Amino acid sequence: MNPPEPTKAEKTLKWVLTISLIDGWSIIGIAALGMLITVIIGDYSGVMVGLLIAAAGAMELRGRKLLKRRDPSGMKTLARSQLFLLAVVLVYCVTRLGSFDDATVLGNLTPDMEAALKESGIQKADVLPMVRLAFFSIYGGVALGTLLYQGGMALYYRAKTPLITEALTTPLRPRVSVLPPSV
């Protein structure tokens, strides 16, 4: 006798468990890499941001663990982890965008860079608009990408909450053995 076909709610639960596992560990991995880079360059505020991002990944894994224990509140934890991560990244991007300083950019040009600019006929002041565009494009792109991805994940988790609650509150169906009874 074949086991019964999984319900839509059971399939959704399995999918949410898979997504939250991959996403949670990915967030922690990216945060760890970012913290390593910021420690190397001496940006200790970046380490703090990395710790907050890692906390969001751990929060997602905690939500997954709650679901595996058949606790429907895990869905709220999953959605909150995405919103927390979204808030951390947006605050970081906004503070970075507000910190752009023309004098600092020009002051960071090394003598070799200045020589290369002179050799190619470019003035120091001509570099500033390109650097400003790149700076705002990078941080604006990260903010937009995070808004779309983490916002979308939070909405996804919220939308799947009723199905997951159904899967977790429905009594487990007995598994049918395909082996003959022992003698």
Domain ranges of the chain: 8-167
Look-up: residue for tokens 């997504």?
19
11: left (phi over 0), alpha (psi -120 to 50) or beta: alpha
User: What pLDDT shows up at residue 21?
Assistant: 98
Q: Which portions of the chain are predicted below pLDDT 50?
A: none
Asked whether 82 and 60 are in contact (CB, 8 A), the reply is yes
Asked whether 159 and 19 are in contact (CB, 8 A), the reply is no
Give the amino acid at 131.
Answer: V
Residue 109: how many CB atoms within 10 A of its CB?
A: 15
User: What pLDDT shows up at residue 120?
Assistant: 85
Q: Classify 34 as helix, strand or coil.
A: helix
Q: What is the C-alpha separation between 2 and 32, in angstroms, rounded?
A: 45
Q: Quick one: tokens of 155?
A: 């909405």
Q: What is the C-alpha separation between 55 and 15, in angstroms, rounded?
A: 23
User: What pLDDT shows up at residue 121?
Assistant: 85
User: What pLDDT shows up at residue 106?
Assistant: 79
User: What pLDDT shows up at residue 124?
Assistant: 76
